[in-house]
């Protein structure tokens, strides 16, 4: 019987929404290979999924002493579905390093079981618009400037006059 917390390892492979979707597809491929000819599963682990995915799955199966692989993949799919989504609108296109840094911060400071959903809007200048569990907050540079101009409107008019 696989342990529930063992699926948190999979969260590392599903840091963003896109990664989660890819991982779900890979797990489906591996699960389907269980019902094919002998040796199909090992072949799928080696060639049909990303190396990191193959290694992580192999490690989890060994460390968890999993005997029912079909059950394992079923539980893994459920665990991926249950990940909470943190939506971030930012002013740049995040790549590997940036994603890792932000995701690590979230993991340490907010908790496990979260996947990031990035949107890019360069008009916000910098910062982020955050949406999480139905809460919304704008921490963008654009909002900062809006607040500043609203507060100092008359001073600015005098300055421009």
Q: What is the binding site for other proteins (CB under 8 A)?
A: 86, 88, 90-92, 98, 101-102, 105-106, 109-110, 122-128, 130, 132, 135-137, 139-142, 145-146, 149, 153, 156-157, 160
End-to-end Cα separation, the chain, in angstroms: 75
For residue 136, the minimal CB distance to other proteins (Å) is 8
Q: What is the DSSP letter of 15?
A: S
Contact between 53 and 4 (Cβ < 8 Å) = no
Helix (H/G/I), strand (E/B), else coil: 72: helix
The closest alpha carbon to 103, from 77, 82, 84, belongs to: 84
Chain-centroid distance, C-alpha 120: 16
For residue 94, the minimal CB distance to other proteins (Å) is 8
Q: Across-strand partners of 140?
A: 127
For residue 80, the minimal CB distance to other proteins (Å) is 21
Count of Cβ atoms closer than 10 Å to residue 78 Cβ: 10
For residue 22, the minimal CB distance to other proteins (Å) is 23
Q: Which is nearer to other proteins, 57 or 102 (CB)?
A: 102
Q: Which is nearer to other proteins, 23 or 106 (CB)?
A: 106
Which residues contact residue 89 at a Cβ distance below 8 angstroms, ignoring those fewer than 6 apart? 118, 119, 120, 121, 124, 128, 129, 140
For residue 153, the minimal CB distance to other proteins (Å) is 7
């Amino acid at each position: 019987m696989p342990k529930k917390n063992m699926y948190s390892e999979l969260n590392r492979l599903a840091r963003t929404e896109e990664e989660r979707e890819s991982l779900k597809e890979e797990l489906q491929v591996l699960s389907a290979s269980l019902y094919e000819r002998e040796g199909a599963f090992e072949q799928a682990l080696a060639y049909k999924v990303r190396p990191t995915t193959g290694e992580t799955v192999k490690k989890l199966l060994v460390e968890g002493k999993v005997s029912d692989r079909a059950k394992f993949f079923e539980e893994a799919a459920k665990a991926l579905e249950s990940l909470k989504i943190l939506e971030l609108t930012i002013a740049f296109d995040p790549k590997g390093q940036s994603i890792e840094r932000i995701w690590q911060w979230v993991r340490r400071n907010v908790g496990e079981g979260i996947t990031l959903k990035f949107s890019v809007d360069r008009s916000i200048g910098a910062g982020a618009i955050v949406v999480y569990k139905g809460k919304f907050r704008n921490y963008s540079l654009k909002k900062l400037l809006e607040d500043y101009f609203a507060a100092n409107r008359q001073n600015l008019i005098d300055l421009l006059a």
